[in-house]
Each structure stands twice: as structure tokens, then as C-alpha cells.
Amino acid sequence: MNKIFIVTFVAISVLFSFDLCAQQNNQGGRDNRNAMREAFEAKRNAFITAEMGLTPEEAAAFIPLCDELRWKKFEVGHECRMHSRGIETKKSPTAEEYSKVIDICTEVAIKEAQLEKEYYEKFKKILSPEKLYKYREAELKFARQIMQEGGPRGEGHRREQNKNNNK
């Protein structure tokens, strides 16, 4: 129980420090987006660490690998996102263009699954099967929670932006 408290306390402290940096860098632009992304990642990692009941040692070994996997999946997904945006901007895409995007995104999904398999082999060397299962559950739970809050920036951010846009 004490280890969970310590891990949670450290994770929350990191989250608040990122939040403070984001507020100080609230000059707009890339710095603010990077600070917001880092704060979001810290929040997700703190949530996952607490949900899984990781020891500090496990968290120190597991979380960087987790972040690495997410980054690689993000990079792999770039081509699918790029082509999907491209087809959305076209006035009347052809069947061939739709097929191309579907094929690209299917290949991306396969590459992401291969990455997951590769990283789960690495995760198995660090964590028990029970904690790996809890990881999958924690990721899904966090995603549901974020969706209910209105996305990574939260509902409050959207309300504030809408208020500013309506002026």
C-alpha cells in the first residue's frame, strides 16, 4: 500500500510540475502544445502506474518502454492520418483513392499490431502476466475517462476556446 502511495504521489507531483510549466509557458505556439502534451503524458502515466499497482522499480523500467511504443505507433500511423486528411479535403474522391487510403490504413494497423507484439515481449521481462493484463485495462479505462472529460485538453479548455471564438 505504501508503494502505491509513493508512486501516486511522485506521479501527481510530476503532473503538477508539468501543469505549472504549461501555465508559465502560456504564450501560445509550440512551447505551450509541448507542455500540454507532456502534462497529458504525465497524467496518463500516473494513472496507468496507479491502476496497475506498479512498484517504483517496475514503473522506472516499464513507463519509458510504454512511451516508446506509443511514439512508434504514432509515427507508423502518420501515413494513414496524412492520406485520410487528404481524402477528406477532396471534393469528390474516386473509388481508387478511397481504396488506396483503406489499404494504407490497413497496413498501418498491421504494423501497429507487430509493434505491440514486439513490445509485449519486452514487457513480459519486466512485469507479471497479471500486471500486463492490468495495463491493457488501464489504457482502455484512461481512454474512456479522457473521452468523458472531452479529450486530452479537457472540457474546460474547449468551453474557454468556444467562448473566445464567439467574441
Task: Give the predicted TM-score (pTM) of the model.
Answer: 0.68
Q: Is 49 in contact with 43 (CB distance < 8 Å)?
A: no
CA 18/CA 39 separation, integer angstroms: 5
Q: Is 132 in contact with 123 (CB distance < 8 Å)?
A: yes
Angle between helices 78-89 and 56-76 (to 10 degrees): 40
CA of residue 165 relative to chain centroid, distance:
27
What Rg, from alpha-carbon coordinates, does the chain have?
A: 19
Per-domain boundaries in the chain: 1-54+152-167, 56-126
The cell numbers describing 128, all together, are 507479471
Q: Is 58 in contact with 131 (CB distance < 8 Å)?
A: yes
Residue burial 44-54, b: 16+ Cβ < 10 Å; e: rest: bbbbbbbbbeb
The CA–CA distances, whole Å, from 90 to 83, 94, 95 equal 11, 9, 12
**In a structure prediction context, what are the per-residue pLDDT tens digits for the chain, which is 167 residues long?**
444 444 444 444 444 444 444 455 455 567 888 899 899 999 999 999 999 999 999 999 999 999 999 999 999 999 999 999 999 988 899 999 999 999 999 999 999 999 999 999 999 999 999 999 999 999 999 999 999 988 665 544 444 455 544 44
pLDDT of residue 154: 52
pLDDT of residue 22: 46
